[in-house]
Structure 1
């Protein structure tokens, strides 16, 4: 089980790096063209009501971006915890490992379709680590 532990821990570290890169990347990003800056200004200036809240598309963008950061940090915690379970009680991981792998595969596909090389590479590496670790845990003898 030592190899599964290491793979889950590697995935955890990669997910933390992903969260940090994502957060700084989307919060610090500035459009390099006049057209891109105009879109960002429009996102900030187009106000609409959601219930009693005055909203903008820019606020949704930032909110969803921070939500993604939270998700990445949670999955880093989950990967680390699965590493602990792989060592102490691998039989308890069960379908959770494979479900986590499936989520990472979907993340890879979405990264491939919508994003650039860094999230594609990180999503791929995380999926490999989680899938390999899940396979090791599921094929281990009790």
Structure 2
């Protein structure tokens, strides 16, 4: 009787555990870290655009019913004129001017958040790499050990760019944190919630920079 020489091969067990960040390739890990940083600032930019739009349209442009006494007061704000530093103005002029000024501030913050979202993180290993090769050619670059075994080339231009971006992050956070406090003192629940979310997201980015510095 012929004897079969075929051997049964057991399938290798497959692990059902999710891949940790340590098992990812350097490229995947870098892209994942950068994606997290970009999402934070893009979400902040979206919240700021929402804040600016609702503030401008709902608070300044659309008519609102303030009740009998409130409507009478608002009408007086629009009609009673007084001389202020050589110009005839109404309280409604100041109301609209300061209100639209807040719109400009929120829009500028949204634009800056978007710029920071598409720029490499100041705490990652991919910061301003386009400057590194040029600095290396000029002899201005130096090797820096990041502490995790990775050695990157940093030039003077790159270091100045990192410092500038870090300052912009803190300026953006502090200004929006102050705006959050003003919302709690003078306004109502919706702007309180949105301004708090914005301040928290911006503060987290500054905290990450502070931890890695």
TM-score normalised to structure 1 length:
0.88
Deviation at 1:95, TM superposition (A): 2.3
**Structure 2 stretches lacking a partner, 5+ long:** 1-32, 122-126, 129-160
Given that residues 44 and 56 in structure 1 are in contact (C-alpha distance below 8 angstroms), is that contact kept between their aligned partners in structure 2? yes
CA distance in 1, matches of 2:40, 2:63: 32
**Structure 1 stretches lacking a partner, 5+ long:** none
Structure showing greater relative contact order (alpha-carbon pairs closer than 8 Å, 6 or more residues apart): 1
**Structure 1 residues 72-120: Cα deviation after superposition (integer angstroms, max 9, x where no partner):** 1111001111222344548241222122211121111111111111111
- Note if 1:33 corresponds to 2:67: yes
Given that residues 94 and 138 in structure 1 are in contact (C-alpha distance below 8 angstroms), is that contact kept between their aligned partners in structure 2? no
CA distance in 2, matches of 1:49, 1:112: 32
TM-score normalised to structure 2 length:
0.60
Task: Report the RMSD for the aligned CA atoms in angstroms.
Answer: 1.9
Deviates more, 1:12-21 or 1:61-70: 61-70
- Note if 1:11 corresponds to 2:44: yes
Match of 1:85 among 119, 143, 148: 119
CA distance in 2, matches of 1:48, 1:58: 11
CA distance in 1, matches of 2:118, 2:55: 26
1:132 is matched with 204
Q: How many residues were matched structurally?
A: 141
Deviates more, 1:84-93 or 1:125-134: 84-93
Deviation at 1:138, TM superposition (A): 3.9
Structure exhibiting the larger radius of gyration computed from Cα positions: 2
Higher helix share: 1
CA distance in 1, matches of 2:173, 2:188: 21
